[in-house]
A and B are shown apart, each in its own frame.
Chain A
Amino acid sequence: MSDLTKLTLTDAVKGLKAKEFSSREITQAHLDVIEKANPALNAFTEVTSEHALGMADAADTKLAKGEGGLLAGAPLGVKELFCTKGVRTTACSDILSNFVPTYESTVTQNLWNEDAVMLGKLNMDQFAMGSSNETSCFGNVINPWRREGEDTQLAPGGSSGGSAASVAADLCLAATASDTGGSIRQPAAFTGTVGIKPTYGRASRYGMVAFASSLDQAGPITKSVEDAALMLEIMCSADEKDSTSLKIETPKWTDSLSNGVKGMKIGIPKEYRVDGMSDEIEGLWQQGIEWLKAAGAEIVDVSLPHTKYALPAYYIVAPAEASSNLARYDGMRYGVRQEGDSLDDVYSTTRAEGFGDEVKRRLMIGAYVLSAGYYDAYYLKAQKVRQRILMDFEEAYKECDALLTPTCPSAAFGLGEKSADPVEMYLNDIFTVTANLAGLPAMSLPVSLDKQGLPLSLQVIGKALDEDTCFRVSKVIEDAAEFDAKASNWWS
């Protein structure tokens, strides 16, 4: 029975439709694996077994009648950032540790509308602020992968560490995630999974706990490129409840992802060749180029001159928006309120106790860069630099259809290895953050293992609204790479 957890989402959905197994069976199989693995991996913050089996039975009833949606009966995990009706949603922060939404996020509702099954909620960096999943109030997620011959605990990446680890360890068929500066792609890269962040505005932000409104986008973490296309086309929708949601139809990417790259021009941005990048990453990138050439694509060198300014700009824009977005967590209407001897004391104690250190650090940076006298020098400047970065991309896309880069400068690092210096941790997002700043779709997929046996990934960045090209390029690489390595199952 445990074989069912090894299926891709696409194959599982086919099997369910063909009645090769029931949703209850595949759901129970996942619940069993979670029970064994979660104490070691800490990927799930809450497993909603009963809820899951209820949804599974409902899906089975439909499937028996030959009905059911595109994900009928498929068990999925949901990042703690998505509000789920009647199921605690905390953003992995103490300040929301008792919060139970009475509403459902649009993204998750879209999944349930297709009769998917929710296994539970997935761990993440607190309020999605982090690159190692070390800031969660539920504790670290442990990467299922280990360096060969070592038992050092590695970070799964962040902020969607729980989503990435659970998909990598077959605890769910696929998971929802979110990406503000690389929070889908970097953990996907650290765990040998596939992740895509769509064009800003494709996925509704309604019911998703906001970190930085102008950067946040939902997307999936999956086991294959095809699964990612399937998940994403269901997660995305035009939503009247989100003013930044694009009022356009979501394409059917699953239909076109195998169309190949013949005649496409793929840009290689020279600025992504950073100092100190390992030969392995360099080699992997070259390998990707060769595969695409072999498939009929033309490779062109392009330049994105403002790349190095992306992270500093990000660390102004994101904290600034966060400092305002997180003002609502004040213990007045919901969440955990601390006692105090005056209103102000209640506010400042509630927020000091409720938020973790990294969140507090970013809220304070955000308030600082927006405060009187600094707005022009920081926030306005950063938004202009952001425009420059977008213009770089627009210039590059005159020469090519998509860009190929590494996803991260390194493979997964050890827990605690980078938490001493915030800036060193931030530098992890150097290749991913540009797509957020420019609002572009970007996808990460695993390609090979490094010398230590850890997965390494490439990233495909597309033009705005051109996820299609991301999928097609990724599919060619996926087919060529034949990456099928799994973390050794040390946890059960």
Chain B
Amino acid sequence: MGLEVHAQITSNSKLFSGSSTHFGADPNSNVSLVDTALPGMLPVINEHCVEQAVRTGLGLNAKINLFSRFDRKNYFYPDLPQGYQISQFQYPIVGEGEIEVELEDGPTITVGIERLHMEQDAGKSIHDLDPNATYVDLNRSGVALMEIVSKPDIRSPKEASAYVKKLRSIVVALGTCNGVMAEGNLRADVNVSVCKVGGYDKFRETGDFSHLGTRCEIKNVNSFRFIEQAAEFEARRQVNLIEDGGVVDQETRLFDAETGVTRSMRSKEDAHDYRYFPDPDLLPLKLTQEYVDNIKANLPELPDQKKERFVSEYGLKAYDAGVLAAEADKAAFFEEVAKGRDAKMAANWVTQELFGYLNKFDLELADSPVSSKQLGGLIDLIANKTISGKIAKDVFQKLIEEDDADPAVIVERDGLKQVTDTGAIEKVVDEIMAANPDQVEQVKAQFAEGHKKPKALGWFVGQAMKASGGKANPQAVNEILKQKLGI
């Protein structure tokens, strides 16, 4: 599989006109005369979009082409006002690069980037407002997009979604695309082909695409889940087709999220001669190395760099570091929690408890009921032995349920403080020992047999913890038990 990801460049105004890129405005309000392609209207490029494309290219470890050019891709469609899309077909601004993609089950793959180019988005056609007509809104028309084309290095639906996730984390960290897939600001065209066992390896050896089978392009898939579903369905469809003696036709298909199937797009069938040629309304885009170097010097920390830092600075495991570094907001949250605290413990609490909770209820970090300050406070209480890790989980639950609660206040209010008063613990232990002489003998016997940690000891710890309502410091309980049992 190879993916073409369209990412909307974060900018105030459009690629070639001064109208706003703001989402959700009234129809045709963020539209200039240029976007409408009125007679005599001409494009003038937005310098910020160029900078954003270069920044993204650098973030993808890719070659920046100092010479690039805008071509016209000619076709008729009601939401394409000019009758052509301005796109960098022949000479893209960014050439080859590669990124590391972490898969959920552990391994990391390298996905090659073929190119990145700038182009205009089209307007929006709305088909369901009138049974006999299509309504056209040009608000999106002319918004700057980056098309990021991968090499055919992706071999499963999971890899495809992991790749897009990684791409998203990079562009979001760079501030070059907000990554909001629900608004269509990041969407993927998924190219799927299937081949016989060994065909892919032959392709890698020879570079000959004929080993890969005919590809179908599934247009505009706009969620990670849909990318997986669409790829899954399409691969199966092609395999079934071939097994039934059929042939895969190269075509453009649409993914229907409702039914989970892909279907052929009829309207594009005969429109494959785009008659590309250089846009004579624009000049070639020439950049200086100095310009590129200057952008490079001011790049923000990228997810991979952040991940490395999390490993070296905080001693996190690579996987946890990767999860935390993938998204800027998550990384920032973690760093706030970890600041001045045990970083591993912070990482555990953020990834296990907090992200576990958010995932379960499909929440974004921004919607988290627990702030970094609250979580930090909770960890402080564990660290200074005010509460045990177990009690902390209960407190965490209360933090979720209550608004703006202070964990220290909750602990105080609900009497959850850990008992470290040895006198009180001794009293509890004495009572248990008195009530269970058989168990006492058993522990002693096991110890005498040479068991450094007699099994029955665990039973006593459990009983003591239970009797204290979980508040007893388990370490203190252990010490006192050992002492009293004489082991």
Contact = CB atoms under 8 A, between A and B. Distances in A.
A adjacent to B, CB under 8 Å = yes
Interface of A: 82-83, 89, 91, 96, 99, 101-103, 105, 205-210, 212-214, 240-244, 320-321, 323-324, 326-328, 330, 332-334, 343, 347, 367, 370-372, 375, 379
Contact of A241 (B42, B78, B283): B42
By secondary structure, the A interface counts as: loop
B43 A243 contact: yes
Nearest to B76: A347
Contacts of A89: 39
Nearest to A379: B277
Given A83-B40, A321-B277, A332-B81, 11 more contacts: A103-B33, A205-B42, A206-B42, A210-B281, A241-B44, A243-B42, A243-B282, A244-B283, A370-B74, A370-B277, A379-B277
A105 B40 contact: yes
Nearest to B39: A209
B280 A214 contact: yes
B47 to A, nearest CB: 12
B75 to A, nearest CB: 9
Interface in B9-67: 33, 36-45
B276 interface: yes
Most chain A CB neighbours (cut-off 10 Å) among B37, B39, B42, B84: B39
B275 interface: yes
A96 B72 CA distance: 23
Nearest to A383: B278
Given A83-B39, A205-B40, A327 B273 contact: no
Contacts of A99: 39
Nearest to B42: A242
Contacts of B273: 371-372
A103 B84 contact: no
B280 A101 contact: no
Contacts of B315: none
Contact of A210 (B33, B40, B275, B276): B40
Contact of A101 (B38, B81, B272): B38
B207 interface: no
Most chain B CB neighbours (cut-off 10 Å) among A96, A102, A210, A328: A328
B37 A328 contact: yes
A125 to B, nearest CB: 16
B36 A333 contact: yes
Nearest to B136: A332
Contact of A330 (B41, B43, B83, B277): B83
A324 B276 CA distance: 10
Contacts of A367: 275
B228 to A, nearest CB: 34
7 closest residue pairs by CB, A with B: A327-B83, A213-B280, A370-B275, A214-B280, A207-B40, A328-B37, A209-B39
B281 A333 contact: no
Given A103-B38, A209-B40, A370-B74, A320 B81 contact: no
Contacts of B281: 210, 213, 243-244
Contacts of B68: none
Nearest to B275: A370
Interface residues of B, number: 30
A328 B39 contact: yes
Nearest to A320: B277
B82 interface: yes
Contacts of A347: 76
A89 B38 CA distance: 11
Contact of A375 (B43, B134, B277): B277
Contacts of A212: 280
A99 B232 CA distance: 51
Contacts of B41: 206-207
B225 to A, nearest CB: 33
Contacts of B37: 328, 333
Interface in B249-273: 272-273
Contacts of A209: 39-40
A212 B281 CA distance: 10
Given A324-B72, A324-B277, A243 B283 contact: yes
B433 to A, nearest CB: 89
B56 to A, nearest CB: 23
Contact of B83 (A96, A328, A372): A328
A345 to B, nearest CB: 12
Contacts of B136: 332
A370 B277 CA distance: 7
Contacts of A330: 76, 83
Contacts of A206: 40-42
B39 to A, nearest CB: 5
A343 B78 contact: yes
Most chain A CB neighbours (cut-off 10 Å) among B33, B40, B45, B277: B40
Contact of A333 (B81, B84, B276): B81
Contacts of B275: 323-324, 367, 370-372, 375
A375 B83 contact: no
Contacts of A243: 42-45, 281-283
A213 B82 CA distance: 14
A332 B280 contact: no
B200 to A, nearest CB: 29
A177 to B, nearest CB: 15
B316 to A, nearest CB: 50
Contacts of B81: 328, 332-333
Contacts of A379: 277
A312 B84 CA distance: 26
A491 B275 CA distance: 48
Contacts of B277: 320-321, 324, 370, 375, 379
14 contacts: A83-B38, A103-B38, A240-B44, A242-B42, A321-B280, A324-B83, A324-B84, A324-B277, A327-B84, A328-B82, A343-B78, A343-B134, A375-B275, A379-B277
A379 B275 CA distance: 11
Contacts of B276: 370, 375
Nearest to B282: A243
Nearest to B272: A372
Contact of B74 (A213, A327, A334): A327
Contacts of B33: 102-103
A96 to B, nearest CB: 7
Interface in B219-270: none
Most chain A CB neighbours (cut-off 10 Å) among B45, B134, B276: B276
Most chain B CB neighbours (cut-off 10 Å) among A89, A333, A334, A347: A333
B26 to A, nearest CB: 17
Contacts of B83: 324, 326-328, 330
Nearest to B44: A243
A323 B277 CA distance: 11
Nearest to A207: B40
A61 B342 CA distance: 82
Interface in B70-115: 72, 74, 76, 78, 81-84
A105 B134 CA distance: 32
A327 B38 contact: no
Interface string B168-197: 000000000000000000000000000000
B218 to A, nearest CB: 23
Contacts of B36: 333-334
A102 B44 CA distance: 20
B74 A324 contact: yes
A23 B76 CA distance: 48
A101 B37 CA distance: 12
A332 B74 contact: no
A268 to B, nearest CB: 32
A442 B284 CA distance: 26
A323 B43 CA distance: 18
Most chain A CB neighbours (cut-off 10 Å) among B134, B272, B280: B280
A240 B46 CA distance: 12
Contacts of B42: 205-206, 241-244
A82 B39 CA distance: 9
B17 to A, nearest CB: 10
Nearest to A373: B273
Nearest to B36: A333
